[in-house]
């Protein structure tokens, strides 16, 4: 491959580089919005723009840009960032979240100590500037010149799955040129709309001919020596080599459980997964604080919820149910009854209907949409059986069934179950074998990447869905 071609076609952006670019752009837009807000506040309200004004009245405005980036975290998913509709929705949701957070601080602070107009100017400016920046990102940085040119090595199930993920994204992060596979039966074939262009013998020539920047290896099982050697040769020429599970994880923020091998899972969850004592301590502190707040809300709202349940469908108001905790240990959770009496009279666990459970009462539907049916579980958080954030606690009967049909399902018991989780905010309530498999992919992603920042972000998004009446 010539040096000129190498330089010309190495300018494409990797998913992590796109994510960093989005963060920097949002931070710049919010910083400009901060200066605009200060100027408008000072001039329109006759406060006089000066250093004294900034130091005495507006020094805390420096917190607004990083806070805005935190509120925008949902739009650093490459798939969502590539959709203009999702972008508009995400920016407006972030602005609404900022309003709610500010009102909480405003009404709990000393009267007159915080401004209203200055923050209003910021929110108006940051929404306009962020949308302008995101539109420029969609028009410029998703153009072919900024897209990496990719071969998928392996046209089996893993390769086809990855190609369909890339192909179905609103704005594909790669320009996928074709498959490469050593199987003679696949040569010259078109699989899922993508051609199989060759094998290991002509891989290097194909890279130069098509100006390839990346090879994504989707070979499951053993790899022959010739293919391994040619991949090393390609890497020496500057081509980036990635594995299918890693790319899948970067693009969807979940793990491809159907395309993982046991040794990969052991490396990820045994060898590489080391949770610090500091994180566990911080998580427990968050659980205690959240558990106290949640229990207080439960106690305050209980009389009203109890009356509503009793008037519609009688007793009981609360019920207990066995779920599995960390390590497979059983524990009892407490929930408001949101279904008719004897909804499972035969004693068998049943899936909830995705389109609306016919067993749910009218009060129960409201409780689910507002998440009020979950508040009794904050008592379990205080006792240490659950956490604020973690995989949804499941019943032993369902787990026993799902373990037989979904690979690695029991791995979700490596951590405490939670009231809110990565799967709940990304996948919602998918009541089926296929839905449980998708939620497991999100749960395993959370277990692998869990941190205090991710936990806080999940809590913020869960609160947002509660306020927006989007129960899952």
Summarize pLDDT for 365-421 with one digit per residue, the tens: 888 877 788 899 999 999 999 999 999 999 898 888 888 888 888 888 889 999 989
**How would you class 332 by CB atoms within 10 Å of its CB: exposed for 0-12, middle for 13-18, buried for 19 or more?**
exposed
- Comparing 45 with 358, the larger pLDDT belongs to 358
Question: What local confidence, expressed as pLDDT, does residue 469 receive?
Answer: 45
Mean pLDDT of 285-297: 94
At 216-263, the pLDDT tens digits run 999 887 788 899 999 999 999 889 999 999 899 988 889 998 887 766
pLDDT at 67 exceeding the cut of 80: yes
Residue 26 in this model has a pLDDT that exceeds 90: yes
Taking 80 as the threshold, does the pLDDT of residue 187 lie above it?
A: yes
Q: What is the pLDDT of residue 114?
A: 63
Is residue 335 within 8 Å of residue 376, measured between CB atoms? yes
Task: Point out the least confidently predicted range of 11-15, 170-174, 364-368.
Answer: 11-15
Domain boundaries, the chain: 15-141, 147-252, 277-467
Q: What's the pTM? A: 0.79
User: What is the DSSP code string of 273-313?
Assistant: ----HHHHHHHHHHHHHHHHHHHHHHHHHHHHHHHHHHHHH
Q: What are phi and psi of 80, to 5 degrees?
A: -70, -35
pLDDT at 63: 87
Give the pLDDT score at 176. 93
What's the confidence (pLDDT) of residue 369? 79
pLDDT of 46 over the 60 cut: no
pLDDT of residue 303: 93
Residue 299 CA to residue 301 CA, distance in Å, equals: 6
Task: Give, as one character, the DSSP assignment of residue 360.
Answer: B
- For residue range 128-151, list pLDDT tens digits in order: 999 999 999 998 888 777 788 999
Model confidence band, residue 465 (pLDDT cutoffs 50, 70, 90): low
Please compute the mean of the pLDDT values over residues 184-199 and round it to a whole number. 91
Q: pLDDT band for 127, please (50, 70, 90 cuts).
A: very high
For 341, which DSSP code?
A: T
Kindly tell me if the per-residue pLDDT of 428 is higher than 60: yes
Reading the block at residue 147, the tokens are 């897209």
Residue 435: the pLDDT is 84
Those residues with Cβ within 8 angstroms of residue 317's Cβ, 6 or more apart along the chain or in another chain? 305, 306, 309, 310, 336, 337
In this prediction, residue 441 carries a pLDDT of 92
Proportion of the chain above pLDDT 90, given as a percent: 37
Q: Report, as an integer, the average pLDDT of 452-461.
A: 86
- What band does 455 get if pLDDT is binned at 50, 70 and 90? very high
Lowest-confidence segment of 17-26, 79-88, 339-348 by average pLDDT: 339-348
What mean pLDDT value characterizes the chain? 83
- CATH number for the region 147-252 comes to 3.40.50.720
Q: Characterize the bridge pairing of strands 330-336 and 148-153.
A: unpaired
* N residues, the chain: 472
Beta strands in 6-160 (DSSP E): 148-153
Q: Which region among 8-12, 155-159, 291-295 has the lowest average model confidence (pLDDT)?
A: 8-12
pLDDT given for residue 265 in this prediction: 66
């Amino acid at each position: 491959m010539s040096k000129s071609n190498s330089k010309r076609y190495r300018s494409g952006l990797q998913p992590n580089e796109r994510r960093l670019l989005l963060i920097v752009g949002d931070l710049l837009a919010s910083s400009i919005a901060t200066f605009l807000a200060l100027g408008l506040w000072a001039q329109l309200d006759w406060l006089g723009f000066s250093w004294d004004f900034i130091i005495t009245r507006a020094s805390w405005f420096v917190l607004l840009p990083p806070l805005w980036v935190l509120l925008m975290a949902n739009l650093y998913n490459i798939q969502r960032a590539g959709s203009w509709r999702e972008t508009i929705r995400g920016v407006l949701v972030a602005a609404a979240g900022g309003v709610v957070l500010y009102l909480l601080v405003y009404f709990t602070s000393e009267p007159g100590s915080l401004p209203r107009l200055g923050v209003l100017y910021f929110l108006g400016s940051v929404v306009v500037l962020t949308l302008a920046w995101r539109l420029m990102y969609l028009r410029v940085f998703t153009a072919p010149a900024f897209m990496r040119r990719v071969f998928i090595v392996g046209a089996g199930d893993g390769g086809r799955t990855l190609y369909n993920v890339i192909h179905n994204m609103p704005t594909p992060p790669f320009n996928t040129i074709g498959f490469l596979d050593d199987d003679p039966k696949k040569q010259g074939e078109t699989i899922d709309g993508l051609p199989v262009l060759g094998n290991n013998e002509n891989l290097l020539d194909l890279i130069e001919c098509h100006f390839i920047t990346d090879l994504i290896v989707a070979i499951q099982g053993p790899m022959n020596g010739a293919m391994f050697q040619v991949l090393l040769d390609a890497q020496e020429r500057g081509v980036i080599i990635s594995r299918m599970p890693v790319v899948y994880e970067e693009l969807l923020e979940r793990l491809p459980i159907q395309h993982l091998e046991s040794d990969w899972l052991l490396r990820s969850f045994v060898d590489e997964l080391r949770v610090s004592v500091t994180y566990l301590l911080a998580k427990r502190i968050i659980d205690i604080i959240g558990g106290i707040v949640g229990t207080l809300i439960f106690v305050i709202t209980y009389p009203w919820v109890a009356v509503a349940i009793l008037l519609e469908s009688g007793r009981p108001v609360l019920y207990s149910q066995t779920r599995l905790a960390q390590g497979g240990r059983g524990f009892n959770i407490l929930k408001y009854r949101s279904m008719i009496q004897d909804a499972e009279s035969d004693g068998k666990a049943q899936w909830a209907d995705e389109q609306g459970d016919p067993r749910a009462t009218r009060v129960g539907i409201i409780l689910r949409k507002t998440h009020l049916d979950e508040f009794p579980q904050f008592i379990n958080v205080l006792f240490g059986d659950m956490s604020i954030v973690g995989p949804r606690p499941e019943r032993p009967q369902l787990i026993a069934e799902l373990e037989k049909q979904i690979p690695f399902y029991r791995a979700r018991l490596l951590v405490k179950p939670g009231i809110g989780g990565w799967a709940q905010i990304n996948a919602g309530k998918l009541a089926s074998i296929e839905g449980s498999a998708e939620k497991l992919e999100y749960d395993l992603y959370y277990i692998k990447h869990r941190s205090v920042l991710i936990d806080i972000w999940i809590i913020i998004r869960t609160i947002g869905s509660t306020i927006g009446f989007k129960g899952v």
